[in-house]
Amino acid sequence: MKKHFIKVVLSSVIVMASFSSCKNSSSSSKNVSRATGWKINAKEGGFQYNSDFKEQETPPGTVFVEGGTFTKGKVQDDIMHDWNNTPTQQHVQSFYMDETEVTNVMYLEYLDYLKAVYPPDNPNYANIYKGALPDTLVWRNRLGFNETMTNNYLRHPAYAEYPVVGVNWVQASQYAEWRTDRVNEVMLEREGFLADDAKYKVLNGEIGGTFSTEAYLNNPESVYGGQIDSLQGKQKKDSINAFAKRSSGVIMPEYRLPTETEWEYAAQALVGTREYNNYRGRKKYPWEGDYTRNGQRVGRGDQLANFKQGKGDYGGIAGWSDDGADITAQVKSYKPNDFGLYDMAGNVSEWVADVYRPIVDDEISDFNYYRGNVFMKKAIGEDGKVEILEDQIVYDTLPNGKIVAVNLPGEIKEVPVGDEETYLRTNFDHSDNRGYRDGDPGSSRFFQRFSDESENRKMYDSPKHKVERDSTGNLVRQYDTSNYRTSLINDEVRVYKGGSWRDRAFWLDPAQRRYLPQYMATDDIGFRCAMSRVGSKSKTKNKSVRHKKAK
């Protein structure tokens, strides 16, 4: 009996040890699947994944903005009586934002690329470069002498680090798309998926075509005009990892314009304060205090932003009481806020991604609030692969007659989502959601009285100008002369935030919001880019600090 008991115990110990051994072998290695026990990243093949990924690195030109809860909207006296930003509590996910506005030299790099890769003297490309050019005539004034800025502001090196202006919302969005491709091109070169000289061969015209991030991810053989085999880096030696995927952790999310909520949150920079009133929306400027002048011992009395101080006073009296600028100022001329962002008040106002509406509908969303979603999907051809627009360039004629390229050669064709994606869904039911709950037919009080064809069905009765080109290329303009238009608001009107060198201190409040048609540009509106953070809310080092404190 005793021997039998010992034998049972020993066998149990052996079985437990074997289970423990299996458990340890499967969990001790990050390259062994906890689901199946199969190897990950095996040379023989199978599942390939970047198991060494730590966290998203900070994209070029940006700073990290840790997300959180804040009071979006204006709680100060609304002397303009707009009532278009009533306070709402919102939560924002972490993201990255350009530390400064996009400067002239940054935008000139974009123009230089377009000119080299898509020569304007080629009839097929004629409007790509031209459509991206800023409107330098925004500086002109009927009763002011500003020709020096008209001729020099964009290109003269004296203004290289000044914020670019004269760029409309459409152009700013296209710049962000181009920047995404260029940064990911560099990332793939660094990690050995592309040869170091790939991008220069495109610029020098040695190969046709160019690089598109989405085209690379969905059909890598299509990029660089189908010549990617000759441009691959050291990873080509390993056929399994010849091309990077999203699971490689190398491809960065897209650059884009920040949402209005992100911009306002970043400008307030509540991370630097623990005052309850500030958390409740009482912080008036991106800096501490209720005044535009520095109250600290060093630099006491200096202006903290570039703005219009009074009628006819754009910079103060020469030699004293001066903010250092009359028009725009060089970026980083003033102290950054607590997120490390410069000029979130003053210098130039900035485009954000949102379509303008006078009401922020927080009842439907208080998480990453954004109005402007148009859900699209990749077009799939008869062969089951995504459609690449190789030599097809779609142009759009804006209401002011400016022609812009909707897509560049080599990009993926996109189409609106349809019933296949929306059937029985509860979170969205169609592609275009710009007017959802405020501007779509259901938003109008008596919309059921009108037929589908009636223009009165829309809440916002804005003018409907028609601008198009005839078969010979001549511009045909047809202005809306109706006397029954009651609003300028429509789905092509975008929000811009922050005060500028032309604005009084009232507009420096991050909660202030104004709007302008997305095809228009001015001499006091610029932009900066943002990028979503993937993964954890906080930086890894911050998480480890919290864990240490908890222990």
Whether 15 is covered by a domain: the verdict is no
Measured CA to CA, the distance from residue 258 to residue 101 in angstroms comes to 12
One-letter amino acid of 177: E
Phi/psi at 236 (nearest 5 deg)? -60, -25
Q: What distance in Å separates the CA atoms of residue 176 and residue 532, rounded to the nearest whole number?
A: 13
Q: How many other C-beta atoms can be found within 10 angstroms of the C-beta atom of residue 340? A: 15
How large is the C-alpha radius of gyration of the chain?
A: 28
Give the residue from 286, 258, 291, 260 showing the smallest Cα distance to 273. 286
Q: Is residue 49 part of a domain?
A: no
Query: By the 8 A CB rule, do 230 and 221 touch?
Result: no
Token pair, residue 215, equals 């085209």
* Residues linked to residue 103 through DSSP beta bridges, in sequence order: 163
Q: What is the DSSP letter of 69?
A: E
452 contacts: CB under 8 Å, gap ≥ 6? none
Please say whether the beta carbons of 511 and 85 come within 8 A.
Answer: yes
Give SS3 for 97: strand
Residue pair 334/305 in contact (Cβ under 8 Å)? The answer is: yes
Predicted confidence at residue 106, as pLDDT, reads 98
DSSP string across 145-211: --HHHHHHTTT-GGGTTSBP-S--HHHHHHHHHHHHHHHHHHHHHHTTSS-TTHHHHHHTTSSSS--
pLDDT of 52-85, one tens digit each? 888 999 999 999 999 999 988 876 777 777 788 8
Alpha-carbon distance values, 315 to 155, 165, 176, 330 (Å): 24, 19, 32, 14
**CA–CA separation, 309 and 312 (whole Å):** 8
395-397 and 475-478: which strand pairing?
unpaired
- The two structure tokens encoding residue 14: 């052996």
| Beta strands 525-526; 349-355: pairing state | parallel
Under DSSP, is residue 333 helix (H, G, I), strand (E, B) or coil? coil
Residue range of the domain that includes 113: 62-439+491-532
Q: Is residue 550 part of a domain?
A: no
Query: In this structure, are residues 436 and 158 in contact, taking their beta carbons and an 8 Å threshold?
Result: no
pLDDT, position 350: 98
Q: How many domains does the chain have?
A: 1
Per-residue pLDDT, 416: 94
Q: What is the pLDDT of residue 348?
A: 97
pLDDT of residue 198: 87
Q: For 331, what's the count of Cα atoms within 13 Å in the CB-facing half-sphere? A: 23
* 3-state secondary structure at position 422: helix
CATH number at residue 264: 3.90.1580.10
Structure tokens at 501: 């060198």
Amino acid at 137: L
- CB-based contact 170:404 (threshold 8 Å): yes
- Rounded Cα–Cα distance for residues 444 and 454 (Å): 13
DSSP 397: E
List Cα–Cα distances, 36 to 27, 42, 453, in angstroms: 11, 14, 58
Does the residue 41 lie in any domain? no
* 126 is a domain residue: yes
Q: What's the gap between Cα 106 and its chain centre?
A: 16
Q: Residue 482: inside a domain, yes or no?
A: no
Per-residue pLDDT of the chain (551 residues; tens, 9 = 90+): 555 555 544 454 444 444 444 444 444 577 898 899 998 888 777 888 888 888 999 999 999 999 999 988 876 777 777 788 888 899 999 999 999 999 999 999 999 999 999 999 988 898 999 999 999 999 999 999 999 999 999 999 999 999 999 999 999 999 999 999 999 999 999 999 999 888 898 988 888 889 999 999 999 988 998 888 888 888 776 677 789 999 999 999 999 999 999 999 999 988 866 554 444 556 777 877 676 776 666 666 677 788 888 898 888 777 665 777 889 999 999 889 999 999 999 999 999 999 999 988 777 789 999 999 999 999 998 888 899 987 778 888 888 888 898 888 889 999 999 999 999 999 999 999 999 988 877 776 666 655 554 555 567 888 888 888 777 777 788 888 888 888 889 999 999 999 999 998 888 999 999 999 999 999 999 999 999 999 999 886 555 444 444 44
Phi and psi dihedrals of 32, rounded to 5?
A: -120, 130
Residues 6+ apart with CB under 8 A from 222: 215, 388, 390, 410
pTM for this one?
Answer: 0.89
Nearest to 227 by CA among 202, 203, 247: 202
Do the Cβ atoms of 372 and 212 come closer than 8 Å?
no
DSSP H or E stretch at residue 546: helix 540-550
Give the tokens for residue 67.
């997300």
As given in the structure block, the two tokens for residue 9 are 């115990």
Distances (CA, A) of 337 to 45, 323, 334, 344, 352: 49, 17, 9, 8, 19
- From CA 165, how far away is CA 103, in angstroms rounded? 9
Residue 300: what pLDDT? 66
